[in-house]
Amino acid sequence: MATRDGSCWICGSARANPYKSGTHDRALDPTDFEITNSRYGSTLTLSQCQDCGFIHAADDEIGQLDSLYERMEDPAYESSQDSRAYQMDWLLRRVMRLRPGARTLLDVGAGAGVLVRQARNIGLDAVGIEPSRSLARSAARVNGVDLLQGFFPHPGTENRTFDIVAIVDVIEHVSEPVALLRDAGNALTPDGMLLVVTPDVSSLAARLLKGRWWHFRLAHVGYFSRATLARAADRAGLREVHVCRPKWFFRIEYLAAQLQRYLPIGFVNRLAPRLPAGGWLYSRVVPVNLHDSLAIFLQRQD
């Protein structure tokens, strides 16, 4: 990780305003970085660049990110691969429309390998890289794929290029987003497509919920709007091809548990699984689009 001086991670400006106070009172540990962590509203200390508007964590609070991600375990995430497969299929359909002749795919931050699995199911030669040792090990057991454990760029993909590079819900976790995008661009074939998915801090949901927004998490160290993500991409030598709001897919049981944080539905959640119809309903997977995430499709400017 590069030495920091408090300047903006996107434009380099030293001018910033406080955005959100940190809410943790102890040293970070790997459980804070679980994908399924639901301590919504908990963040590091956040500042907003006065010049480009990018929001990021305080530099002195992120020194152990790599080690924390390597040691992170998340059994609940491993058990949710069936519903996540719907999301990955949706993303694959979108990117294949823009790059219909694609043959190869690289997934950066591959989790337990569900995108790699779904990409192979449609005939792509797909490779995944995952920092978490636990998730990388579980990928073979959970999804039948072998992942490269470590960080991108990875020696296992050195001198390779890919028709599609996917960075799905990853860029908000890194402290050098421009470098990540530049490295991803360098891993593309000349007409390859880079897919980036990340929460949108300028969305209506984020503005209405403020500090209670579900994407405010300790693991998220950078918060993008469409404008700041486009600026980061331009600095990395990439151009925008298409932008949309991605769909997510969840079991109703999971959605109901999360909604209980915002609505008084605890009694319903306790009662429904005990009823035959309620148990069936709560096991259903449904699409959700709250328009508070961005999917941006990029190509190299050259």
Instruction: Say yes or no: 197 and 270 in one domain.
Output: no
Domain membership of residue 26 (yes or no) is no
Domain membership of residue 114 (yes or no) is yes
Instruction: Say yes or no: 193 and 255 in one domain.
Output: no
Quick one: average pLDDT of 189-218?
Answer: 96
Give me the residue label for tokens 């300028």.
Answer: 202
CA distances from 238 to 166, 169, 196, 255, 302 (A): 14, 19, 12, 36, 8
Instruction: Say yes or no: 147 and 190 in one domain.
Output: yes
Cα(170)–Cα(293) distance, integer angstroms: 12
pLDDT digits (tens, 9 = 90+) for 157-191: 999 999 999 999 999 999 999 999 999 999 999 99
Domain membership of residue 22 (yes or no) is no
Instruction: Say yes or no: 132 and 272 in one domain.
Output: no
Cβ neighbour number for residue 265 with a 10 Å cutoff: 14
Domain membership of residue 188 (yes or no) is yes
Domain membership of residue 278 (yes or no) is yes
Instruction: Say yes or no: 236 and 258 in one domain.
Output: no
118-132, 230-244, 259-273: range with lowest mean pLDDT: 259-273
Sign of torsion over alpha carbons 159, 10, 150, 108: negative
Instruction: Say yes or no: 103 and 231 in one domain.
Output: yes
Q: Domain count of the chain?
A: 2
Domain membership of residue 102 (yes or no) is yes
Tally of helices (H runs) and strands (E runs) in the chain: 11, 13
Joined together, the tokens standing for residue 76 give 């609940």
- In this predicted structure, the answer to whether residue 60 has a pLDDT above a threshold of 90 is no
Instruction: Say yes or no: 125 and 266 in one domain.
Output: no
Instruction: Say yes or no: 157 and 276 in one domain.
Output: no
Cα(163)–Cα(100) distance, integer angstroms: 10
Joined together, the tokens standing for residue 153 give 């760029």
CATH number of the domain at 147, please.
3.40.50.150
Quick one: average pLDDT of 128-147?
Answer: 96
Sign of torsion over alpha carbons 178, 110, 289, 31: negative
Instruction: Say yes or no: 128 and 236 in one domain.
Output: yes
Cα(118)–Cα(124) distance, integer angstroms: 9
Return the closest-CA partner of residue 152 out of 144, 143, 162: 162
Cα(21)–Cα(297) distance, integer angstroms: 32
Q: Residue 89 sits in which domain range? A: 75-211+219-249+290-300
Amino acid at the residue 113: G
Instruction: Say yes or no: 118 and 245 in one domain.
Output: yes
Instruction: Say yes or no: 168 and 257 in one domain.
Output: no
Quick one: average pLDDT of 85-92?
Answer: 96
Domain membership of residue 255 (yes or no) is yes
- In this predicted structure, the answer to whether residue 119 has a pLDDT above a threshold of 50 is yes
pTM of the full structure: 0.92
pLDDT value for 2 = 44
Domain membership of residue 195 (yes or no) is yes
Cα(250)–Cα(214) distance, integer angstroms: 15
Cα(83)–Cα(36) distance, integer angstroms: 13
Q: Which residues contact 60 (CB under 8 A, 6 or more apart)?
A: 4
Mean predicted lDDT score pLDDT of the chain: 92
Instruction: Say yes or no: 241 and 122 in one domain.
Output: yes
Return the closest-CA partner of residue 111 out of 92, 83, 137: 137
- In this predicted structure, the answer to whether residue 1 has a pLDDT above a threshold of 70 is no
